[in-house]
């Protein structure tokens, strides 16, 4: 006697196919979402549970409503007679093997009708349940992050996330473990500030202020507020008034690898967005592909560029750039420079020569000498600032790659030690991530 085979009805197959297609469409929609792994896993679990439930329910229905041939003691002759009666009654002559077995073993014709209708009703109910179960998952799908506007403060908080997490965790431990400001707590606060690369000199000054006001600090919130107030005082060094001369010449310096050329491209984009005409001077003629990289940024920003052949005299490039800007009526000129190791005497001499060449063409220029520093280098950035300032006279700072370090306190240390204004900070790769430095916003994001 042939074994009964378990067949999945067409409606169930259709429902499973739709569920699988829905899963694929949802997965493609969520590829840009940070929740893709969690949601995809949840949908897969739900799909497996639905498949398992369908299999169990169908198996139970067949075991209870469709007995195997021979279980009721009906002979083969009786089965043949029942088939003949069913044919005479006008039923379909060709039916599934397990439906034939059920018709032969049933004592009354009612089970035949039940076999034809009951599974369809169950399939419709199961399809409705599956649609209801999948609806909440579809409603909970978050929008793609790219569609949400990101404020400058959010970018800054995201960029300083590593520093803030490390610093606040250590400061909170002072009150959770010590319960207040004592000698041991002072040491923990000092360690937290040094770990954030605030610097020895700046940390010593801040610790002295905390000791003087320890009686007024009784909670983590009061400690945060006090540190914010003291750090804001460090940033009180004002930037010089912008020169009314046109073109306004900016000379950008810094060692290789700090993001100098990229920063120049972002500055050019910002100036262009403000409506100013911009010309770039490619005076870094020794580094491979430096001129090509600057040319690409110039095209993106819509800025003009003056460049010479490879290994040309950088001072000549700077001179020609200023001359071209004057003849074309350009408002802003940005001069890129070489950035070999700052310990090399010839680099400082070359920068001095560029500066003299610019001043020769336009007396009083360059109006700004901006030093680009890499925040991830920590205290080494401070030593670079000192050497460049002593060599050519830096007027302002740009600090990049703050998003890649847990030592964002270097901003405080450099500004306190150098007494130089910080013009821009970089907290990401996008053009918008080069932000004008706002001391209040920075301190709020730091804590």
Query: Measured between alpha carbons, how far is 121 from 7 in angstroms, rounded to an integer?
Result: 17
Q: Which range in 189-198, 294-303, 378-387 is most confidently predicted, on average pLDDT? A: 294-303
Q: Which of 82-96, 185-199, 395-409 has the lowest mean pLDDT?
A: 82-96
**Is the whole model's pTM more than 0.85, yes or no?**
no
DSSP 178: I
The angle formed by the CA atoms of residues 256, 262 and 374, to the nearest 5 degrees, is 50
Number of neighbours of residue 243 by Cβ within 10 angstroms:
14
Full DSSP string of 342-391: TT-HHHHHHHHHHHHHHHHHSTT--SEEEEEEEGGGTHHHHHHHHHHHHH
Q: What is the pLDDT of residues 249-303, one digit of tens each?
A: 999 999 988 989 999 999 999 999 999 999 999 999 888 788 999 999 999 999 9
Query: What pLDDT sits at residue 89?
Result: 44
Q: Is the dihedral of CA 348, 349, 352, 354 positive or negative?
A: negative
Q: Percent of the chain scored above 70 by pLDDT?
A: 68
Is pLDDT above 60 for 144?
no
Q: What is the pLDDT of residues 214-246, one digit of tens each?
A: 888 888 888 889 999 999 988 876 666 666 778
CB 228 within 8 A of CB 221: no
């Amino acid at each position: 006697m042939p074994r009964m085979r378990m067949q999945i009805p067409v409606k169930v197959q259709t429902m499973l196919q739709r569920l699988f297609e829905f899963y694929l469409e949802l997965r493609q929609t969520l590829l840009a979402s940070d929740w893709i792994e969690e949601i995809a896993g949840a949908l897969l679990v739900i799909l497996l549970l639905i498949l398992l439930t369908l299999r169990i329910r169908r198996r139970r229905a067949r075991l209870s409503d469709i007995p195997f041939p021979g279980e009721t003691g009906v002979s083969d002759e009786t089965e043949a007679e029942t088939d003949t009666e069913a044919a005479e009654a006008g039923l379909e002559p060709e039916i599934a093997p397990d439906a034939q077995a059920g018709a032969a073993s049933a004592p009354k014709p009612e089970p035949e009708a039940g076999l034809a209708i009951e599974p369809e009703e169950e399939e419709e109910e199961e399809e409705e349940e599956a649609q209801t179960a999948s609806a909440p998952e579809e409603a909970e799908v978050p929008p793609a992050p790219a569609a949400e506007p990101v404020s400058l403060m959010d970018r800054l908080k995201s960029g300083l996330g590593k520093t803030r997490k490390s610093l606040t965790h250590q400061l909170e431990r002072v009150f959770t473990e010590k319960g207040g400001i004592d000698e041991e707590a002072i040491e923990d606060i000092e360690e937290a500030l040094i770990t954030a690369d605030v610097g020895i000199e700046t940390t010593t000054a801040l610790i002295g202020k905390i000791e003087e006001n320890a009686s007024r600090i009784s909670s983590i919130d009061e400690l945060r507020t006090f540190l914010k107030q003291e750090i804001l005082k460090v940033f009180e060094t004002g930037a010089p008034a912008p020169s009314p001369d046109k073109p306004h010449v900016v000379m950008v310096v810094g060692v290789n690898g700090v993001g100098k050329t990229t920063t120049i491209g972002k500055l050019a984009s910002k100036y262009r967005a403000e409506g100013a005409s911009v010309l770039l001077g490619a005076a870094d003629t020794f580094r491979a592909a430096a001129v090509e990289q600057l040319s690409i940024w110039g095209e993106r920003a819509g800025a003009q560029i003056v460049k010479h052949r490879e290994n040309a005299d950088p001072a000549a490039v700077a001179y020609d750039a200023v001359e071209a800007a004057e003849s074309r009526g350009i408002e802003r000129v940005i001069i890129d420079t070489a950035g070999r190791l700052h310990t090399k005497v010839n680099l400082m001499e070359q920068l001095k020569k560029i500066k003299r060449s610019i001043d020769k063409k336009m007396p009083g220029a360059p109006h700004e000498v901006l030093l680009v520093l890499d925040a991830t280098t920590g205290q080494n950035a401070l030593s670079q600032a000192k050497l460049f300032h002593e060599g050519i006279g830096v007027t302002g700072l740009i600090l990049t790659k703050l998003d890649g370090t847990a030592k964002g306190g270097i901003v405080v240390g450099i500004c306190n030690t150098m007494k130089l204004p910080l013009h821009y900070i970089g907290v990401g790769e996008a053009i918008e991530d080069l932000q004008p430095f706002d001391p209040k916003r920075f301190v709020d994001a730091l804590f």
